[in-house]
Amino acid sequence: MSTLHTLLALLRVKPASGYELARNSAIATDPVWAASHSQIYPLLHKLQQQGLVTSTKDTRGERLERTVYAITPRGEEAFQTWLEEPLHYLPYRDPFRLWIGFMDQIPPAVLMRGIDEHERRNLELAERYERVAGELARGEHPFIAIRRGRVPDPELARIARARAFQYTEVAAVARLEVEASRRARILARELHPESVNQPPPSQSRGRRTRR
Amino acid sequence: MSTLHTLLALLRVKPASGYELARNSAIATDPVWAASHSQIYPLLHKLQQQGLVTSTKDTRGERLERTVYAITPRGEEAFQTWLEEPLHYLPYRDPFRLWIGFMDQIPPAVLMRGIDEHERRNLELAERYERVAGELARGEHPFIAIRRGRVPDPELARIARARAFQYTEVAAVARLEVEASRRARILARELHPESVNQPPPSQSRGRRTRR
């Protein structure tokens, strides 16, 4: 269960509350491993039961109390064991390719809208991830900043390169989806020749009435 | 829940038993939407309760009885509705990119083995999907053969092109993973310079003892 290990990975950097872990996972691991935030507290409980993390109450001001989790030596060991295990692949489930395989049966306007949306969504992801990869490579990312002084500089440089690579590669996945959308659009036009040069429904009303 | 719709898609071609659906999904939809075969019977039951499929007992020979499922007009409608709905994206979870982001901390021999395995696995998938795409495009695939005579030839040609595209695109995903593995290997060697030119443990024993 890799979500559990993403939490250990975050706690290796520094002790954190459940809230901070949710925020940090959004920065650090969500692009490659989307954690459901509702899972975080049950998983922390499980990690604590297994002796992989400890928790302490931290009081700030008069009434503000929060639980802060820290990784234990056994937790460090469990994380390293996970790194050395064979990858556990997931069943491949690809909603876009499943759907697009039926493109001969999808009404052209719906088809074009779905392809446009897929392209837009992935272009946005690609640009975001490429930006983060750049920030990581230049050491400007919060993920690197938080570690500065905690780990020696040469080690920090290696971490930054590995994480920058991760983002470059997840951006490459999104870029492939953009290209796949463009290829899908070309085939969609060939399979639905009646729709060529026909504006999408929302823009066509004015023209169609021709008044 | 798309697995339910993949079953409807298969039943649109022709009525089939649960066993045949499992076999046909392996040919037709698993590469883009891995169905768990243990799901098939509970889902058929659900589809039947919703009036989207009917079942009949089919007796072959003296004792061999099987249940054959057929799609109903309401099932056809449900399938078409699903085709026209916005895509339901899944949370992105990528075990390879999650793991490779920690490559600075993975022992080099383990890292190289994982990268090799990822490349090998995806090269095999890419080649298999490209082969199927070719068979589909030439009309040689069982998926097309089963429809010949049931649907008019021009429609069959459109189906074949859409499905061939699906396979080409899922092959492109696997090709990207092959390229990502090769890029990962280059970075792994840079981050673990001590491992450069070091043979993997299994082959190195003889050399290390130098006897």
Note the ipTM here: 0.89
How many Cα atoms occupy the beta-carbon half-sphere of A165 within 13 Å? 26
Q: What are phi and psi of A196, to 5 degrees?
A: -60, 135
Q: Which two tokens stand for residue A198?
A: 């026909």
**Would you give per-residue pLDDT tens digits along chain A (211 residues)?**
688 999 999 999 889 999 999 988 887 888 999 888 888 999 999 999 999 999 998 887 777 788 999 999 999 999 999 999 999 999 999 999 999 999 999 999 999 999 999 999 999 999 999 999 999 999 888 888 888 888 899 999 999 999 999 999 999 999 999 999 999 999 999 999 887 655 555 544 444 333 3
Q: Are A104 and B155 a contacting pair at CB < 8 A?
A: yes
Q: What is the pLDDT of residue A30?
A: 87
- Which residues on chain A are in Cβ contact (under 8 Å) with B81? none
Kind of pairing between the strands at B16-17 and B53-60: unpaired
Q: Are B95 and A161 a contacting pair at CB < 8 A?
A: no
- A73 touching chain B per CB within 8 A: no
Q: What is the pLDDT of residue A124?
A: 98
- A193 touching chain B per CB within 8 A: no
Q: What is the pLDDT of residue B10?
A: 92
- B126 touching chain A per CB within 8 A: no
Radius of gyration of chain B (CA): 23
| Tokens 């840079």 sit on residue | B190
Q: At what angle do helices A153-191 and A108-137 cross, to 10 degrees?
A: 170
Q: Are B162 and A91 a contacting pair at CB < 8 A?
A: no
| Spans of chain B below 50 pLDDT | 203-211
- Asked if residues B95 and A90 have their Cβ atoms less than 8 Å apart, the reply is yes
Amino acid at B90: L
What's the whole-model pTM score? 0.88
Q: Are B88 and A95 a contacting pair at CB < 8 A?
A: yes
- B100 touching chain A per CB within 8 A: yes
